[in-house]
Structure formats: structure tokens, C-alpha cells
Chain A
Amino acid sequence: GQQVMQIPQYQHVQEGEDFTTYCNSSTTLSNIQWYKQRPGGHPVFLIQLVKSGEVKKQKRLTFQFGEAKKNSSLHITATQTTDVGTYFCAGPPFNQGGKLIFGQGTELSVKP
């Protein structure tokens, strides 16, 4: 079945440093979504990418969808302590209804 892999699993950064998490799918995705889960919280939708090569920005966050629609990345510029949490990518398997397969997530910790 489809697998969505995320690396790294953990990332510890100093406040102000940049952070990137990478997401790779074993199959082509029609779209990809990113979620953030704060410690003790629930996943919260951040963004959806649909087009090949698409790049979207939300303030210090930059999301990219690969040309082949099999990989994606999230880059945070100048991390802040409010960025702490686990970032998940999620994609739908082809022709399998509406289910979203989540990656394992990248847990980001930020040292002030």
C-alpha cells in the first residue's frame, strides 16, 4: 500500500535557526496536506498543495510540492518557540476514497 515517509523524525534547533521537514510518498499524490500538532493538542490543518511544483507561503512557513507530485517539504525561517510541535504531511492514496495517509511526523523543539 501507499507509504508516506517523513524525515527527520526529530529536530532540535536554537531559536532563530531555520527548520525543514521532508515528506516522500511511494506513489504519486493528487494533493498533499500539512498539519501541525502542538504538544498535548490535536492536529491542525495548515495548508494544501495541489499542483506540480507548487510553492505556497504563510509568513515564515514555505511549503513546496515536488514536480513529480511524490514529495513535499515545509521550511520554517527563523524559528520561534511558538513553532514547537509535530508537523505532519498527509496524502490520499489513488482511488481509495477520501482517506488521508499521514507521515510519521517531524517533532520540532526550539531552544530559546
Chain B
Amino acid sequence: DSGVTQTPKHLITATGQRVTLRCSPRSGDLSVYWYQQSLDQGLQFLIQYYNGEERAKGNILERFSAQQFPDLHSELNLSSLELGDSALYFCASSVGAGGSYNSPLHFGNGTRLTVT
């Protein structure tokens, strides 16, 4: 058990809808990362928050947004969903902010999103 909690485990929704994925980091970790994993794209970095502030951004679509709350949990909002958004979405947490030395990432079990 990594200590990172993601809910829900599975989500099935229709195109055009909006969903929210939730992540609670490991106790003591200040950074939260979101990754998208699909069969042909590997693990794609979406965004990182550190202690409530956006720290780094990847190729995150404009239809996607995220935030980290004062209690350090994070939410990833996906809107105007398309079939291609179907994937496994992982949240990970780490102690530090990253940079020249990256503390290890601890991954949650993921949320499997299916868009029909």
C-alpha cells in the first residue's frame, strides 16, 4: 500500500460530460502529480502541485484542470470528455518539490476512466 488514495476506482461516462478525480497524498507528502496512462502513450505527465501551488505543467489539455487544496488533497477535473480521454489516471505524491533531486514518487492505484 503506497499510502496514496485515489477515488473513484472506475468511472464510466458519456462524451461531452465532466468528471472529477480525487487524490489524497501520502501523509507528509507536499507534492501531488497527475499522470495519464493509455496503451499507446505510456505515462504522460499532466501537472504537479506543491503545497497548494502549481509547480510544473505537462501537455495537459485546456479541457482539463486541477487544484490542490489546503489539506493537500488534489482534484483533477476533466470536461467536454472525448472518447480519446479514456485512460488510467494516476495520482502520485512525493515529499519534495523536485528539481535537481527528485524524491521518489508514490503512486495511487489509479482511476480507470471509460468514455462511451
One of A45, A50, A96, A102 near B101 (C-beta < 8 A): A50
One of B90, B97, B100, B104 near A48 (C-beta < 8 A): B104
Contacts of A90 in B (CB 8 A): 43, 105
B8 close to A (CB within 8 Å): no
- Summed over the interface, the residue pairs from A and B with CB atoms below 8 Å come to a total of 80
Dominant secondary structure of chain A at its interface with chain B: loop
B84 close to A (CB within 8 Å): no
B25 close to A (CB within 8 Å): no
User: Who on chain A is nearest to B2 by CB?
Assistant: A42
In the assembly, what is the distance between CA of A50 and CA of B99, in Å?
A: 12
**Residue tally, chain A, CB below 8 Å to B:** 24
Contact B108 A98 (CB under 8 A): no
Q: Which residues of B contact A (CB under 8 A)?
A: 2, 31, 33, 35, 42-43, 45, 48, 50, 55-58, 90, 92, 94, 96-102, 104-110
